[in-house]
Amino acid sequence: MAALTNAADAAVEDEVELLGAALAGTEALLDRTIAQALEEADQDRAREQRVDEPSPAEKQPDEPPSQPSRALLHNVQASHDAAARHREDALQKAVAFRDRRAAESRPKHPRKNVT
């Protein structure tokens, strides 16, 4: 019985490790996607400036052109927050699954009738 419990615990630990690795991969993909979006936004902004070169009197930007727009930064922050929530939820589910499996694999003691 102990061998089955150890095997079940090892299987659960493996699943938790795989889930952690998957989450790390998701995070890396999200970071690459955000970096690509920022780069594309910079390229779009540079293209727009070349096409619509305003006169010096009209040129009064809200922020320096080297900084990403506030909306883009807000979207990036929202994406990071969503990824963090997703990661936390997944880890909580993995821990709950591990604990449930451990509880199920424990031997049950028969109750004694007290009369």
In this predicted model, what pLDDT tens digit does every residue of 34-90 receive, in sequence order? 888 888 888 878 877 776 565 555 556 565 556 667 788 788 888 888 888 888 888
pTM higher than 0.85: no
- Domain spans, the chain: 2-53+65-105
Residue type at 54? P
Taking a C-beta distance cutoff of 8 angstroms, is the pair 90, 15 a contact?
no
Taking a C-beta distance cutoff of 8 angstroms, is the pair 100, 33 a contact?
no
Residue 32 in tokens: 């690459």
Angle at 29 between CA 23 and CA 30, to 5 degrees: 90
Taking a C-beta distance cutoff of 8 angstroms, is the pair 69, 41 a contact?
yes
Residue type at 86? H
